[in-house]
Amino acid sequence: MEVNSKDYPEKVIETEYRYFSPENLVEASTRRDMYVLVSNKEILGTGSLKENNMQTLFVNPGFHGRGIGRKLMKHLEKATKTEVSG
């Protein structure tokens, strides 16, 4: 809500906020591979793949500009390459 509110109307943000509720994320994890980057028990970011396609990438706003998104993307790309060649 904090980051995307600059780029999307409030109604879109509210819809996405409800869609990405904890319950919906747990349910989505049964259909896709989800990765969570954690440090000192704090979630820094998340990303997910479904059938070798990136579905989501989120970085905790408090950690923007620290390379978290880049690290997650590299991990997702590596996981995709491994799945394709494996």
Statement to judge: residues 44 and 26 lie in one domain: no
**What does each of the 86 residues of the chain score in pLDDT, given as a tens digit?**
778 778 889 999 898 888 888 898 889 889 999 999 999 999 999 999 998 899 989 999 999 999 999 999 999 999 987 766 55
Range of the domain at 9: 1-31
Statement to judge: residues 51 and 22 lie in one domain: no
Element spanning 11, H or E: helix 10-19
| pLDDT value for 20 | 84
On whether the CB atoms of residues 58 and 46 are closer than 8 A, the answer is: yes
The pTM for the full model equals 0.77
Statement to judge: residues 48 and 86 lie in one domain: yes
Statement to judge: residues 2 and 21 lie in one domain: yes
The token pair at 58 is: 């989120």
> How many domains would you assign to the chain?
2
Statement to judge: residues 56 and 77 lie in one domain: yes
Q: Which residues pair with 37 in a beta bridge?
A: 45
| pLDDT value for 75 | 93
Element spanning 44, H or E: strand 42-50
Of the candidates 27, 21, 52, 25, the residue with the CA atom closest to the CA atom of residue 36: 25
Which CATH number characterizes residue 52's domain?
Answer: 3.40.630.30
| pLDDT value for 85 | 58
Q: How many C-beta atoms lie closer than 10 Å to residue 3's C-beta?
A: 12
